[in-house]
Structure formats: C-alpha cells, structure tokens
Amino acid sequence: MIRSFLCLLAICPLLHAAPPNIVLMLADDLGYGDLPAFGAKDVRTPHLDRLAAEGVKFTQAYANGPECTPSRTAIHTGRHPQRPGGLECPLGTGNVGRYDDAIRLREQNDLGLPPRMAVLAPALKQAGYATALIGKWHLGYEPKFNPLDQGYDRFFGILGGNVDYYRHVELSDIPVFIEGRTPVTRTGYMTDLFRDEAVKWVRQQEPQKPFFLFLSFTAPHFPFQPPGTADEPMPTAEQWTKGTRANYVKMIENMDQAAGAVMAALKETGADDNTLVVFASDHGAMEPGSNAPWRDFKETLFEGGIRTPVLARWPARMKAGTVDDRPWTLMDLTASFLQFAHATPPDGRPLDGHPVLVDVVEGRDTAPRDFFWRARRGERTWRAVRSGGLKWIAREDAGSPAEEWLFDLTSDAVESTDLKTARADDVTRLRSLMSAWEREVRPER
C-alpha cells in the first residue's frame, strides 16, 4: 500500500521513465550448458558473452514447458500455456494435434493460439509500440492464427516448428515460410535471413516511437544443418533429427553472430542505451545439445528439460555483470515488458506471470511462489511442482503405473537423490497443490 502511494506521488522511477525499446531473442532447443556464460567449453559466442558481461545472467529461469509451443504460448499470453487448450505439446509437422485435446481442436480447424488470447504484442501495440515478429511462430498454421492478427505489425518467418535451413520447407506440403500473410521464396541460410530482416527492421524504426522486436530463431533446432553446407542434399525423414555436436555448435555460433548484428544495429541507430535486450532459450536441449549440469533433456520436466539460460541487458537501468539466482519463468517476461511499457492486458484480466525484471531493475527481492508444469504428448503426461526448494515430478503413461520423484533442489540441484519415500508428507502436499492448480487452469475452449 505504501509503495503504491509513493508511486502515485511520482517517486516510483518506472512511471516517469521513457518506455524502453524491447528486443527478445529466443533460441530454439538451446541447452543451459550450450553457452560459455553458463559453462560451455566447446562453443564460442563473443556477442552473447558480452551481453552477459554488460547485463544480468539468470541461473534459475525456467521455461513454462519442455517443448516449443507451450513455452511460446506462455510468452505471448503471459499466462500458463494450459489455458488456451491444445497447446501443451508442439503442433506436429503439417498441423497435427499430438494429444486428445489438440486432436479435437485440429478436427475443428482450431489448433493454434486464438488472437483474443494474445496479450504481449497487442498490449505493447496499444501502448504505442511498433511490433515485429521475425522467425519461428509455431502457434498455428491456419490463416486465422497469423501473427498480424495477434498484435504484430510485421511478420517474416515460419509457421511450423522446424524447416530445412536452406530450402525453408518442412516435411509436409504446407507452405510455411511467410512474409505477412503470403508464402515467400528467399535464397540463403535461415538464421541469416532472420538476422538481415531484424537488422533492417531496427534501422527503419522512428527514434520517437518505442519498438518491440521478437527475434525467434529456429537455431539450433533440428535439422542440424550448419552454415556452409547448402550443397548437401535435404535430410530425409530418418536423418531429420540426427546430428553431430560439431554441427550443432556451428549453428549456435552463427546465431551468436546474428544476435551481435542486431545489437550493433541498436548502437548504430542510437537506440542501444534505452533498449532492453533479453536472450533466452524456449526450453532445454535434445542431444547433441547440453543441459549440463542439469538432469535429462527436452520433453521431460527434470531440470534439463525446463531450465533455460537467460541473459538481459539494459544499459540505462541494469547493473552490468550481475548474476541473479531467483527462480522465475519465461511468462514473467510478459508481465515485465508490459510494466516497463506502461501497458495493460487488452482483455483486462490479470496475468499469471510476475514482473521479475522490474524487481531486478528496482533492486528488490521477488516474493516466493510455487511453480507448476504439465506437459502432454500422446498418452504420456508429465506434471511437476516446485515449492521453495522442493520439486515433485510425476510421469504417467496410459496403461502403466505413474512414476514419481521428489527432490530437494537446495541441496541436490542435479536431482540425483529421490526423497519420495523419506518425505511422503511433502509428496502428498505437492500433489494436492498440483491438483488445485490443474482445476484453476482448465482450458478455456
């Protein structure tokens, strides 16, 4: 109450600060252990290293799902990805639903994020921002789910989850490389095309108008095609998800160069000082990626599936060289961006996320809260709760007994010692929290 009153008296600096430009760069399937800033020894990323040195490195940031679509749903809505329905699992190549609710929506030609549920870009646009999404969408193939109807002024990218980096097609017959609403043909490596489009868009912005750029990379997601291999044949279905660590590293290093080009454009245009740049991954990596030191990979709710490397830099407001270990999730970015922009959700409903980056800028702690995950694919359902340092995980496959784990992340961050038998009361408590949360986030359609 006192803090709110002081803000009304013009003591709260964010209320009178010029809204920052915001650039969100999201890697695809990049592991926590795939960046030098987070311990990688075999990768060179000088531009992202500089982002870490000049900004904040977050060591306990989580994706809101262990795969692409749910994580992106959480960012675009600022809410748990379970709420829209059908988006707890990536949309399958060719617009395929992969679990019962998604299959139902696909049969109704309704598998995607409804524009009425989008929050991030519409709120920023309403607050006077120019908005662009360049790169991967993965929130609906059908025209009614186009990003231009979800608050973006500019869209240049792919509709699906993965494409050949040179031919820009997926393993289906649906045109997926789109500019605005129209399929396009371009020559070049996918990451480089996104880089060039992002740099051009930044240079076109008017100095007096704030802008939001969502640069949504496909790298280093499969197919594992590094730059310089355009003459090699398109991978077959059997080869599509196979790759070497060497090629994967080259893809990361090329993405780093793209990030560096965007940051250079910010400096060239004089926008650098008042631009908040955030770099993150949408979830953990699959092999040959590295989630070290965390357990397991993408598609699971162990730390390796959902712990994501996040870097943030805002020269005007963030202290350089900061390491921040508070736990939070990617949907908190949405709440943070809206507060910095003096924006509110268009639908007037509260967000599920918390403005963590505002806490960082204002130098205050973030109140403890519980974190929840549910991920569905086929007949398998993962569930997890983190409450304080305790984390409960369950995996249920149709026709098989459920498996459960309980870990104390304060003493066992790598999830090596299962405590479910020794701490049965905690298992019961966290199960109860999960059940209550599932009732609260039932799908809205």
Q: What is the CATH number of the domain that holds 408?
A: 3.30.1120
The first and second tokens of residue 186, run together, are 């371009």
| For residue 63, pLDDT beyond 50 | yes
Whether 65 and 255 have beta carbons less than 8 Å apart is answered as no
Residues of the chain with pLDDT > 70, as a percent, come to: 96
264 and 283 inside one domain: yes
Task: Give 165's contacts (C-beta < 8 A, 6+ positions apart).
Answer: 189, 190, 191, 218, 223, 225
Residue 7 lies in a domain: no
Which residue in 47, 76, 80, 138 is the catalytic one? 138
What is the structure's pLDDT at 14? Answer: 59
What is the structure's pLDDT at 293? Answer: 98
Which residue in 47, 68, 89, 168 is the catalytic one? 68
Residues in the chain: 445
Residue 111 lies in a domain: yes
- Host H or E run for residue 190: helix 190-204
424 and 277 inside one domain: no
What is the structure's pLDDT at 17? Answer: 75
| Beta-strand pair 56-58/380-387 | unpaired
286 and 180 inside one domain: yes
Q: Is 315 exposed, middle or buried (0-12, 13-18, 19+ CB in 10 A)?
A: middle
| Beta-strand pair 275-281/21-27 | parallel
Q: Which domain holds residue 50?
A: 20-369
3-class DSSP state of 267: helix
What is the structure's pLDDT at 375? Answer: 98
Which ranges of 269-378 would DSSP assign to H, the alpha helix? 303-306, 331-340, 356-362
| For residue 357, pLDDT beyond 80 | yes
Residue 12 lies in a domain: no
| For residue 2, pLDDT beyond 70 | no
Residue 47 lies in a domain: yes
Catalytic, 76? Answer: no
Which of 325, 341, 369 is at the close of a domain? 369
What is the structure's pLDDT at 233? Answer: 96
354 and 397 inside one domain: no
Give the confidence band of 13 by pLDDT, cuts at 50, 70, 90: low
Catalytic, 138? Answer: yes
Residues of the chain with pLDDT > 90, as a percent, come to: 95
Task: Report whether the peptide linkage leading into residue 84 is cis, meaning its omega lies within 30 degrees of zero.
Answer: no
Sign of CA dihedral 275, 276, 282, 283: positive
Residue type (1 letter), 160: G
124 and 183 inside one domain: yes
250 and 120 inside one domain: yes
Whether 235 and 225 have beta carbons less than 8 Å apart is answered as yes
pLDDT tens for each residue of 165-179: 999 999 999 999 999
388 and 359 inside one domain: no
Q: Which residue has the higher pLDDT, 237 or 18?
A: 237
Sign of CA dihedral 144, 150, 151, 155: negative
| For residue 9, pLDDT beyond 50 | no
Q: How far apart are CA 189 and CA 225, in angstroms?
A: 9
| For residue 7, pLDDT beyond 90 | no
What is the structure's pLDDT at 11? Answer: 42
Which of 369, 388, 418 is at the close of a domain? 369
Give the confidence band of 4 by pLDDT, cuts at 50, 70, 90: very low
Which of 315, 335, 369 is at the close of a domain? 369
CA dihedral 10→16→17→18, nearest 10 degrees, is 180
238 and 177 inside one domain: yes
Residue 378 lies in a domain: yes
3-class DSSP state of 17: coil
What is the structure's pLDDT at 15? Answer: 54
Instruction: Work out how many domains the chain is built from and give that number.
Output: 2
pLDDT tens for each residue of 256-287: 999 999 999 999 999 999 999 999 999 999 99
- Arithmetic mean of pLDDT over the chain: 96
Residue 159 lies in a domain: yes
- pTM of the prediction? 0.96
What CATH number is attached to the domain comprising 139? 3.40.720.10
242 and 314 inside one domain: yes
Q: How far apart are CA 383 and CA 431, in angstroms?
A: 9
| For residue 412, pLDDT beyond 90 | yes
183 and 195 inside one domain: yes
Report which of 256, 315, 258, 249 is spatially closest to residue 285, judged by C-alpha positions: 249
Report which of 180, 178, 119 is spatially closest to residue 150, judged by C-alpha positions: 119
436 and 353 inside one domain: no
Give the confidence band of 346 by pLDDT, cuts at 50, 70, 90: very high
Residue 9 lies in a domain: no
What is the structure's pLDDT at 252? Answer: 99
Q: In what order do the strands lie in the sheet with 177-179?
A: 182-183, 177-179, 154-158, 130-136, 211-216, 21-27, 275-281, 310-313, 56-58, 322-324
Residue 299 lies in a domain: yes
Q: How far apart are CA 167 and CA 242, in angstroms?
A: 18
Dihedrals φ, ψ of 245, to 5°? -60, -40
349 and 385 inside one domain: no
